[in-house]
Amino acid sequence: MRRLRSVCLYGTTLLCVFFLSHLFVRFGGREKNDVSKKYVPTQSRESRESGLPNIVFIMADDLGWGDVGYHDSIIKTPNIDRLASEGVKLENYYGSTWCAPSRLNLMTGRYRIHTGLYGDVCDFMALSETTVAEKLREAGYYTALVGKWHLGGFYNTECNPPQRGFDTFFGYLGGCHGYYTHRRGGPRAKYDLFANDTAVGPDYEGQYSTFIFTKEAQRIVEQHSKRPTEQPLFLYLSYQAVHTPLEVPEEYENIYKNVIEDDDRRIYAAMTTCMDEAIGNVTETLKSTGLWENTVLIFSSDNGATPSGGGSNWPLRGHKGVWYEGGIRLVSFVTSPLLTDQVKGTVNNELIHMTDWFKTMLYLAKGNLKGTKPLDGYNQWETISMGKTTDRKEILHNLIPGDQADTEGSIDGFFDRMPFATLRVGKWKLLTGNIVNEGSWTKPAEMGFHIYGPGNHGSIELYNIEEDPEERNNLAQTNTVKLRELYRTLQRYSATINKDVLQVEPVVE
């Protein structure tokens, strides 16, 4: 929790200069800021008439594996459950351990080691990276981001979403802030709520962020349905929920008043149910406007939950910030009327990673990869929509060489020091260095909030994830053949690390 707070407070030392560029309009009865921009489609008439699908990507923040109804949770998520049951549940799907790195994976389609930002926590994306939003806009899409960015906006406006491929942006730039105050780091801190590059925090103080982000998403959908061309929409709806601080309207907390005694767990559950209702409202707007029939909706968490913040990854081991399954195996599904009846209502256990969405979405958009750096992701559309076997056979979760490692346990002299690394190859998972032994098995509060210690396995761990998804049986000492095989794979990746140091000068007001 200390590390989580440090991430949230980090942005309080960085200030930016923002430029006024847009007029104000209101949500509901209040004037709100019009975050739409005049945009001339670059798409040809033939492309506009080709029926390219709308793509709606919904990201939940810090949602735990054990916090959705279809994973047998006490938390009520009827809309998420229904959408997942109508589509394809991705049950072998991974991201990073922290918020910003997963968003970096999504936006670039690249592993962290190839972006130069492979440290514990990063909140910046190099200006040299090409984003999926830029490529979708190039393919003719109207691109909109609502909610959390967390990829460098506090450094300078060049890092802001409108300069990284989004035609419109309404949301916040940092890692977390007050749900009602929209300020970072406390009531006296700077506001962090923007309409494109214009600060609008005071206009929305006292309004709950899940509500205002949902209203903005609905507004974008309704506005887009009235456009004269058949230009497709890419909507990236990146909710603040259910990240700390734990704040929610009372009517949602009352749902669990006599169900969950623990205060943190009860508020977290209420926040999740509120977000679930919001997702239902957005999908209803897609349906009422006629856009749903040609829409692919992707739902994903960014990383595992924090048990001390009310979330649960049970029965998986670990939590946000660590590389056990509870920190990186994510809740995700894809649903769409465009899916074949063959896959609707199925569970997909193929290996899929956050970096895969870049190529997958660009495939749906009939776009091209011209101008992108080498990508680490795969096009998973046939895997998801037709049930085909994935081309992905491995995931480098992360690799950090250097002084953070332990000299003990080195195999055949590989690396002068043990690297800080996590690798998945097929059903096998390798963990090395000082990342091990940080994860436990934590029951949610309604089950007693019991924490089972991990034991002491040393600086190398090897698990058969298919047979042991809870990572209880370390096979590093008994299956040295597989261990050496995975070390060779790790060595191959280590040769591709981008060791350039990114120099970023913050703009100070």
How far apart CA 243 and CA 309 sit, in angstroms, is 8
Query: Quick one: average pLDDT of 488-494?
Result: 90
Query: Quick one: average pLDDT of 374-384?
Result: 97
What tokens were used for 271?
Answer: 């926040």
Query: Quick one: average pLDDT of 385-401?
Result: 93
How far apart CA 123 and CA 11 sit, in angstroms, is 9
Return the higher-pLDDT residue of 333 and 419: 333
Return the higher-pLDDT residue of 167 and 502: 167
- Residue pair 277/29 in contact by the 8 Å Cβ criterion: no
- Residue pair 112/101 in contact by the 8 Å Cβ criterion: yes
- pLDDT confidence of 123, banded at 50, 70, 90? confident
- pLDDT confidence of 404, banded at 50, 70, 90? very low
Average pLDDT across the chain, whole number: 84
412 pLDDT above the threshold of 60: no
How far apart CA 403 and CA 228 sit, in angstroms, is 58
How far apart CA 123 and CA 46 sit, in angstroms, is 39
- Residue pair 481/470 in contact by the 8 Å Cβ criterion: no
Per-residue confidence (pLDDT) for residue 5, from 0 to 100? 38
Of 83-97, 224-238, 396-410, 495-509, the poorest mean pLDDT is in 495-509
Q: Which helix (H) or strand (E) holds 236?
A: strand 233-238
Residue-level length of the chain: 509
Query: How would DSSP label each residue in 305-355?
Result: --GGGT---TTSS--TTSSSHHHHB--EEEE-TTS-TTTTTEEE-S-EETT
Return the higher-pLDDT residue of 125 and 415: 125
462 pLDDT above the threshold of 70: yes
pTM, to two decimals = 0.87
Active site residues per annotation: 99, 150
pLDDT digits (tens, 9 = 90+) for 244-274: 999 999 999 999 999 999 999 999 999 999 9
pLDDT digits (tens, 9 = 90+) for 32-62: 333 333 333 333 333 334 589 999 999 999 9
**CA nearest neighbour of 270 among 178, 216, 332, 208:** 208
Structural domains of the chain ordered from first start? 46-386 (3.40.720.10), 394-494 (3.30.1120.10)
Query: Quick one: average pLDDT of 218-230?
Result: 91
Return the higher-pLDDT residue of 27 and 467: 467
Q: Is 250 helix (H, G, I), strand (E, B) or coil?
A: helix
Query: Quick one: average pLDDT of 353-366?
Result: 98
What tokens were used for 395?
Answer: 């995931």
- Residue pair 412/372 in contact by the 8 Å Cβ criterion: no
